[in-house]
Amino acid sequence: MSNAIAGPPVKTRKLLQVCDLKMHFPIVKGLLRRTVGHTRAVDGVTFDIYEGETFGLVGESGCGKTSVGRCINRILSPTDGSILYSREEGHEVDLAALSDRAVRQYSRDMRMIFQDPFSSLNPRMTVLDIVGEVLKVNGVAEGKELETKVRELLTKVGLRGEYLRRYPHAFSGGERQRIGVARALAPGPRFVVCDEAVSALDVSIQAQTINLLQDLQEEFDLTYLFIAHDLSVVEHIADRIGVMYVGKMVETGTTDEVYAKPYHPYTEALLSAVPKPDPSLRDTASRIRLSGEVADASNPPSGCYFHPRCTYAKEKCRTEAPPLKEVESGHFAACHFAGELSLKGVLSPDMIQRRTSLRPNGNARA
């Protein structure tokens, strides 16, 4: 099977190195608003993103995925950890250590596509104002050149140029998200965080948007952090994948490796819930239904955060937190028994070979 699994990205230069990233939100109570605790939304996350790839970040709602993306783009200021950004060969800067003012010089390089296409666009602004504002602020274009640039961007995302004087209410959800994509691309970024960029859209529109993102990635040489909770969507677009649970990264690896041979029980449970379009392949007995509730990020359990819901848990899991260790080359898992457990994936060697042949980077079109 190893011969069929896709290897590391063609471009091997690391664009981002996220190391022990933490984002703890204070819990305040009382008339004096005293801090009585913290919600560990992101609790020591480590991963790399290579230039030109799509890194998928998945997990249940509330696991900290969005907080990771907002910390990288410095919408949030991390509590601790480092975010090393490689702007050019031999030049790295820790975005987490920069002041809000100093980080602005990197805002052109790093952009974000938000989840809700209805609330992320100002209803009082035309498309020209929404997209053009980014061009003005970043000193890319002004006046007549700005209008020409906005028209070109709308065309790139599949909208007609004459739409630039319309307001958001005149567009469908899918069209609004395309405006959001145009806004993100306006200053010519290298890295884009797609925060649940298709989750609010119909399935057919999701496929169109994913294909658009893939086309734009090839045309503009973009790198994506694709945040989602739907693993069937991530399978189509991501080169590598990271799985989060209650603020921690529990598994990372190439998409084919993780989907074919997961090493963490939580990943196995997530994969068992991936819908199968072919009724003959559906097996309700193979669905893993986790017991209990997701751990409270403000008061997590001792040891492995997943152990109260894990059928493989032993005494060691209750007392010792497992480190994120490399089980196979490039495939990491935070489980004391990673590699020892026989966990089920959803991709066979034949399916991986077929996926790899569909596109040069191994990703099928949605």
pLDDT for the residue numbered 116: 86
Domain assignment of residue 366, yes or no:
no
> Is residue 172 a part of any domain in this protein?
no
Q: What are phi and psi of 242, to 5 degrees?
A: -125, 135
Supply 163's token pair.
């739409």
pTM of the model: 0.89
The reply to whether 125 falls in a domain is: no
Report how many domains make up the chain.
1
DSSP string of 266-298, one letter each residue: HHHHHHHTS--SSGGG--GGG-----S-PPPTT
Sign of the alpha-carbon dihedral angle for 296, 297, 300, 306: positive
Distance CA 301, CA 190 (A): 39
**pLDDT score at 352:** 57
On whether residue 93 sits in a domain, the answer given is: yes
pLDDT of residue 356: 57
In a domain, 346, yes or no: yes
pLDDT number for residue 30:
86
Give the list of residues 6+ apart from residue 247 with CB closer than 8 angstroms, or none: 40, 41, 42, 43, 44, 45, 63, 64, 297, 300, 305
In whole angstroms, give the CA distance from residue 338 to residue 342. 9
Low-confidence ranges of the chain (pLDDT < 70): 1-11, 276-286, 347-366
Distances 106 to 11, 25, 86, 179, 189 between C-alpha atoms, Å: 22, 25, 11, 22, 9
Q: Provide the pLDDT for residue 2.
A: 34
**Is 340 inside any structural domain?**
yes
Range of the domain at 77: 14-109+189-358
Q: What is the pLDDT of residue 3?
A: 36
* Contact between 266 and 63 (Cβ < 8 Å): no
Task: State residue 335's pLDDT score.
Answer: 96
pLDDT at 1: 34
Instruction: Provide the pLDDT for residue 365.
Output: 55
Instruction: Tell me the per-residue pLDDT of 297-337, one tens digit each, with 9 for 90 and over.
Output: 999 999 999 999 999 999 999 999 999 999 999 999 999 99
What's the pLDDT at 279?
62
Quick check: 59 and 229 in contact, CB under 8 A? Answer: yes
Tell me which H or E stretch contains 23: strand 14-29
CATH number at residue 283: 3.40.50.300
